[in-house]
Structure 1
Amino acid sequence: MTTSNPAPPPPRRIRISLKDRQFAGLFWQIVVVGITVAIVAWLWSNTVHNLSVRRISTGFAFLGREAGMPITDTWIPYSPKDPYLRAFIVGLANTLRVAVIGIVLATVLGTIIGVARLSSNWLLARLAAVYVEVLRDIPLLLQLLFWYVLMQGLPAARAAWKPIEGVFLSNRGLILPSVPIEAGQLWVIGAAVIGLIAFHVVRKQLTARQLLDGRPRRIWPYALAFVIGLPMLTSLALGVSWTITKPELRGFNSVGGLTLAPEYFALLIALVTYTSAFIAEIVRSGIQSVHRGQWDAAMALGLRRGFVLQHIVMPQALRVIIPPMTSQYLNLTKNSSLAVAVGYQDIVSIANTTLNQTGQAIEAIAIIMLVFLTISLGISLFMNWYNARIALVER
């Protein structure tokens, strides 16, 4: 008796319909992307055609030509005989000088002002409130022009103010003592950075133990070993010599030291003071978002107010502070483009000069957009990573 194999089931038919939400979403995304690409391609071809009809050169070949523009304030070696690419690199470095140093100083100053606004000292709290309200309500451009005019109104270099030994303030800018940095000094600085990281890790562990058993631990021996001892041993092992170059007034100018040009100094002061006023309000609101019971419980355990603020309140307030703080960092970076108003040669100023000399308007503007987009995305990625790192984890 033979048994026949059962017939295979008929193949399933896959029906694709626009009523399917998943397929419809994918379909419309493809349509939107296609339309966007088509519009961009049409605009690009139309622009290239119009430029060729008017015999306007396009492309980035001009970056290899001699720039011929002087740049007075730069920490990177530069000569007018260098190509435009070198000039743009110098402009980028000048922009980063303002953005990075401005972010650090604005964060420190804004945090101090924000904490001062919550001080029990009536006079200190009122002064901090006046600082915030005044600087927030005056446009940044006016503040920048105010500081620049104030710098220009200072005495000449030969009659410069001397607030402390080795520091001169005149209409030529702020002149500070400097330390020549070479390869050996860089190794010592690297050791200092490693020491700071190690000290931060050890300090967190000691603080965690103190929160568990309430017994205070001495932190200063670790600070002495990692922050001071490690760089000192590195310096002695490499035989690094540290010399401080003090500026000297000679004739109508100064020689030696580190000079902060009046344009850079005015721009930095304006950006730091203006942005710190907003950061102060962010810090104040972040601290006030932590429930008052956290303060009361910590004070009932006999903990010092500074310890409570640093190790209990601030870690919780950071979850509220970080997102709006990111926006202020981005604003400071983009506001640095106002440097053109006082003649500081950042990436925008270099691009404007290049545009006038070469007529490469599209390329120059594209470089500016790319630079600020890259810096802003870098800041956003770092701050988002940090925000995710300190976020509460559900258990």
Structure 2
Amino acid sequence: MNFSKKETPLHAPGEKIPFWRDPDKRAIVYQIVVFAIVALLGHFLVSNTMANLRTQKIATGFGFLKKEAAFEIGESLIPYSAADTYTRVLIAGVLNTLFVSVLGMTLTTVLGTFLGIARLSSNWLVSRVAVVYIEVFQNVPVLLQLFFWYSFFYELLPPPRQAVSPIPGVFLSNRGMMFPVPEKHPAYFYAVIALLCACVIAYVLRVVMMKRQERTGQSFPIFWTSVALLLGLPLLAWWLGGAPTQLSVPELKGFNFRGGKSVSPEFTALLLGLVMYTSAFVAEIVRAGIQSVSRGQSEAAMSLGLRPGQILSLVILPQALRVIIPPLTSQLLNLTKNSSLAIAIGFPDFVSVAGTTINQTGQAIEGVLLIMIVYLCFSLSTSAFMNWYNKKIALVER
């Protein structure tokens, strides 16, 4: 017997319904009205802003990007001088922000994972040290941490003439850390190409061997084979290219060092502050992800004779990643956005360079718009990559 209640139609079949009684048509009308209101509001704001700019005789547009910048920046990944255009100095700022963000995200993920595992360690001292680290760096504002590290490197280290040399050829001063680097030689280019090839080979080998292990149950030393490839192929390319050994060693000339490479106190302070602050949050995310995996998984792996390291890498972490990735994405996005605080310690990131450009040209709207677009692109790119990885490791239901 069917006790379901039959729906009574609101109108007879074939009857023409007025649009105000049709929910689908009403929804379309509401959307058109809302869109029109938003468009009118946007038109009013834009026209009012343009009128005010014309009244105050302030130029608009992006024509200023072709003009000479006429200001220097402390460090840049590309050659730059004050005679270059605003476009080039803004590109230098973008690359500085991108470099510190990518390096910071990599170090944060590694350090946060290590701390999250250490927090769960059965060793009392290791777990307590991890807890202290997390509680301290998680509850101190990141801007104060940047000031602390900047003061530590700039105020406590001696000037270049009294630089400390903990290792021959390496010097520490309030100008940064100077260290030797190889002289330019084609062999190093070949070594980089060999390293990229080794990465591709190691990845393909891992995929093939994992499928083989799933099919036959036979394991393969993927880690040590990958290490041998990543070290052996570049060394072989370097040796075949002539095995150059010439180094550019920093030397004190006048009031500063010449030669080699240097890492500025501003960059070091920014990187340390961002990594140590964000890794404290990542550690808690990793800890929660590991604890979300049923203890029966570990016990089953132990009953199969797996070692603790194998249990963690083959059983626990692959399952915990499905819980870890979404909140980890948010923390990596926060790190990228927090890099804009570099202006407080004098590192020439994109916000700092764009701010100087705004002050010199008066193009505030265009400058702020560029800042918004750049950080939006950074955030969307990071989010897209993490979402792709999250889908890749998701459980596939049959």
Tell me which residue corresponds to 1:94.
Answer: 96
Residue 249 in structure 1 maps to residue 252 in structure 2: yes
Question: Deviations 1:96-154 (Å, cap 9, x if unpaired)?
Answer: 12111111111111111111101111000000000000001111111111111111121
Residue 231 in structure 1 maps to residue 241 in structure 2: no
Question: What does residue range 338-353 of structure 1 map to in structure 2 within 5 Å?
Answer: 338-353=341-356
Distance across 1 between alignment mates of 2:344 and 2:66: 28
* TM-align CA RMSD: 2.4
Tell me which residue corresponds to 1:314.
Answer: 317
Call closer, same or farther: CA 1:297–1:180 in 2, change over 3 Å. farther
Alpha-carbon contact 1:91-1:350 (below 8 Å) kept = yes
Alpha-carbon contact 1:16-1:23 (below 8 Å) kept = no
The match for 1:305 among 291, 305, 308 is 308
Tell me which residue corresponds to 1:218.
Answer: 221
Tell me which residue corresponds to 1:58.
Answer: 60
Q: Displacement of 1:43 after TM fit?
A: 0.7
Residue 380 in structure 1 maps to residue 349 in structure 2: no
Matched AA of 2:107? L
3-state SS of 2:365 partner: helix
Distance across 1 between alignment mates of 2:32 and 2:166: 65
Q: Displacement of 1:59 after TM fit?
A: 1.1
The match for 2:357 among 343, 354, 357 is 354
Tell me which residue corresponds to 2:153.
Answer: 151
Tell me which residue corresponds to 1:191.
Answer: 194
The match for 1:135 among 134, 137, 161 is 137
Distance across 1 between alignment mates of 2:20 and 2:201: 58
Tell me which residue corresponds to 1:273.
Answer: 276
Distance across 1 between alignment mates of 2:96 and 2:16: 60
Tell me which residue corresponds to 2:339.
Answer: 336
Distance across 2 between alignment mates of 1:123 and 1:14: 78
Q: Displacement of 1:350 after TM fit?
A: 1.1
Distance across 2 between alignment mates of 1:262 and 1:324: 31
Matched AA of 2:135? E
Call closer, same or farther: CA 1:23–1:230 in 2, change over 3 Å. farther
Distance across 2 between alignment mates of 1:29 and 1:182: 63
3-state SS of 1:163 partner: strand
Gapped runs of 5+ residues in structure 2?
A: 1-13
Tell me which residue corresponds to 2:9.
Answer: none
Distance across 1 between alignment mates of 2:321 and 2:223: 26
Tell me which residue corresponds to 1:177.
Answer: 180
What TM-score comes out, normalization by structure 2 length?
Answer: 0.89
Distance across 2 between alignment mates of 1:248 and 1:292: 58
Tell me which residue corresponds to 1:111.
Answer: 113
3-state SS of 1:162 partner: strand
Question: What does residue range 16-55 of structure 1 map to in structure 2 within 5 Å?
Answer: 17-55=19-57
Q: Displacement of 1:28 after TM fit?
A: 3.0
3-state SS of 1:174 partner: strand
Tell me which residue corresponds to 1:203.
Answer: 206
Alpha-carbon contact 2:80-2:89 (below 8 Å) kept = yes
The match for 1:73 among 68, 72, 75 is 75
What TM-score comes out, normalization by structure 1 length?
Answer: 0.90
- State the identity as a percent: 50
Distance across 1 between alignment mates of 2:377 and 2:222: 40
Q: Displacement of 1:209 after TM fit?
A: 4.1
3-state SS of 2:172 partner: strand
Question: Deviations 1:251-300 (Å, cap 9, x if unpaired)?
Answer: 43222222111111111110110011111111111111111111111011
Q: Displacement of 1:13 after TM fit?
A: 8.6
Alpha-carbon contact 2:186-2:241 (below 8 Å) kept = no
Gapped runs of 5+ residues in structure 1?
A: 1-11
Tell me which residue corresponds to 1:124.
Answer: 126
Call closer, same or farther: CA 1:299–1:334 in 2, change over 3 Å. same
Matched AA of 2:197? I
Alpha-carbon contact 2:185-2:244 (below 8 Å) kept = no
Q: Displacement of 1:235 after TM fit?
A: 4.2
Alpha-carbon contact 1:174-1:265 (below 8 Å) kept = no
Q: Displacement of 1:163 after TM fit?
A: 2.8
Distance across 1 between alignment mates of 2:209 and 2:125: 36
Alpha-carbon contact 2:74-2:347 (below 8 Å) kept = no
Call closer, same or farther: CA 1:55–1:333 in 2, change over 3 Å. same
3-state SS of 1:138 partner: coil
Matched AA of 1:343? G
- Matched positions, count: 384
